Amino acid sequence: MQKRDKGFTLVELLVVIGIIALLISILLPALGKAREAARTIKCAANLHSIGLGMATYLVDYKGKFPPSNFYNGLGQDPIVGQIPTTPTSGYVHWSSFLYTNRAALSAGVAYQSAHGWEMFQCPSLDNGGLPPANTYAGNNEPGFPNETAGVIDLQAPRLAYTINEAICGRGIYQLHFDGRGNQRVYNFVSASRVRNSSQVILATEMWGIQSAVTTDSLTNPGSPVSASRRPVSGISSYGNITADSPYKYPYNVPFTWATVADLLPDPLSTLSGSYPINNTTLDWVGRNHGAKKYGSVGGGTGGNWDLRKSNFLYVDGHVETKHITETVNPVNQWTDSNLDFYSLDQ
C-alpha cells in the first residue's frame, strides 16, 4: 500500500487560513483599542511631567506661575512703556521655562530640533503636536510660513499642550498695549491663590490639526499663523455677556463663564476657511483619544458631539482623562469655586 505524504490538503489549508482570518478580525479591534489606550496613558504621563516641571518652576520663582507667552525682548521704555510692541523677534513660551537642558537653551540649539522635547508631545497627534508661529525650516505645517521670516520662537518645536489663561496669563502688562486698545492687564499668579488645586485645570491638550489652532498674524495682518502659543480659558467670549455681568475683567469689561451651550459639538466640522467659528477658546482643546464617534453628552443637546476625550492636568499635579464638557458641567473647572480669573484680578 502507498503511504500518504505528510502535509495539508487544500481543504485543511483553507480551514487554517479561515481560522487565522477569523482570529485576526477578532483581535485587531482589541489591539487598536490597546494601542490607543497606551497613547492616552503616555499623553497623560507627559502632562504629569509638565506638572512636575511646573512645581520646580514655582520653587525657583517664589511660588508664581509663568506667563503663557510674551514678546521676545520684553522690557520697559520710559516713554512708550512696555516694549516691544510687535513680536518681530518672536515669542517666549512657557514650555521653554520647563525644558531641562538649560545649556542647550542658552546656546539656542534646542529650538532647532524636536529632540529632547518629548515631554511636550502627544503620541496621538501627527508629529507629536503643532509648531510655533516661528520655527526652523521644514518644521512648519503646509501653507503656514513663519510669522516673521528668519525668527525662531523660544518654544517647544512641536507642542501638544496648552495652558489655562486664568493661571498663566498673557504677556500684557499695561493698558492699550501695542495699540490694539486692549483693556486687559495681566499679573503673575501665586500658587497659593488657587484654593481648590485638585479641582482647577492648569493645562490640557490641543488639537493636532493646524486649521483648528490658528490666529491672525500680528506682524502681517490678514495672514494666518500657528496659534500653538496661545492659552485657553473657561470663559465665553460671547454667550450671555451683559453690562451687569457679575464677573468682570478689570476696567469693567464684562464676561461670563462658559457652559456646555458655548462649546461646539465638533469644532473640526465648523471651520470657516482656516479659522474655527466658536464662542470660547475651549474649542481649541483637542478631542484626541478614543475612536471618533458621535453621540450625546451631559448638558449638551443633540447626538452630534465628538465623544473623544482629552487629558487634563490639575494644579495639584494629578491628571484626568475626560470629555471637554465635563470641565464646565456641573461646575467650571477652569477657575476656583469663587470664580476668580486669577491672572486678571488685581
Task: State how many domains the chain has.
Answer: 1
pLDDT tens string 162-211: 999 999 999 999 887 876 666 678 999 999 999 999 999 999 999 999 98
pLDDT tens string 92-116: 999 999 987 777 777 678 999 998 9
The amino acid present at 336, given as its one-letter code, is: D
Residue 151: which residues within 8 A CB-CB, separation 6 or more? 88, 89, 90, 134
In this predicted structure, the answer to whether residue 12 has a pLDDT above a threshold of 80 is no
pLDDT tens string 251-278: 445 568 899 999 999 998 876 555 556 6
User: Is residue 254 assigned to a domain?
Assistant: yes
pLDDT tens string 116-138: 999 999 999 999 999 999 999 99
User: Is residue 83 assigned to a domain?
Assistant: yes
In this predicted structure, the answer to whether residue 244 has a pLDDT above a threshold of 70 is no
User: Is residue 1 assigned to a domain?
Assistant: no
User: Is residue 4 assigned to a domain?
Assistant: no
Residue 228: which residues within 8 A CB-CB, separation 6 or more? 129, 130, 131, 132, 133, 155, 159, 162, 206, 213
pLDDT band, very low/low/confident/very high, at 8 (cuts 50, 70, 90): low
**3-state SS of the chain?**
CCCCCCCCCHHHHHHHHHHHHHHHHHHHHHHHHHHHHHHHHHHHHHHHHHHHHHHHHHHHCCCECCCCEEECCCEEECCCEEECCCCCCCEEEHHHHHCCCHHHHHHCHHHHCCCCCHHHCCCCCHHHCECCCCCCCCCCCCCCCCCCCCCCCECCCCECEEEECCCCCECCCCCCHHHCCCCCCCCCCEHHHCCCCCCCEEEEEECCCHHHCEEECCCCCCCEEECCCCCECCEECCCCCCCCCCCEEHHHEECEECCHHHCCCCHHHCEECCEECCCCHHHHECCCECCCCEECCCCCCCCCEECCEEEEEECCCCEEEECHHHHCCCCCCCCCCCCCCHHHCC
Instruction: For 192, list phi and psi in degrees, rounded to 5.
Output: -65, -20
pLDDT tens string 25-50: 776 665 666 788 899 999 999 999 99
Task: Kindly state the average pLDDT of the residues 329-335.
Answer: 94
CA atoms within 13 A on the CB side of 232: 30
Residue 258: which residues within 8 A CB-CB, separation 6 or more? 234, 235, 236, 239, 279, 280, 282, 328, 332, 334
Q: Which domain holds residue 72?
A: 11-344
Percent of the chain with pLDDT over 90: 60
User: Is residue 6 assigned to a domain?
Assistant: no
Supply the Cα-derived Rg of the chain in whole angstroms. 24
User: Is residue 223 assigned to a domain?
Assistant: yes
Q: Which three cell numbers stand for residue 117?
A: 522635547
Which pLDDT value is given to residue 308? 96
Q: Which three cell numbers stand for residue 265?
A: 459639538
User: Is residue 2 assigned to a domain?
Assistant: no
User: Is residue 318 assigned to a domain?
Assistant: yes
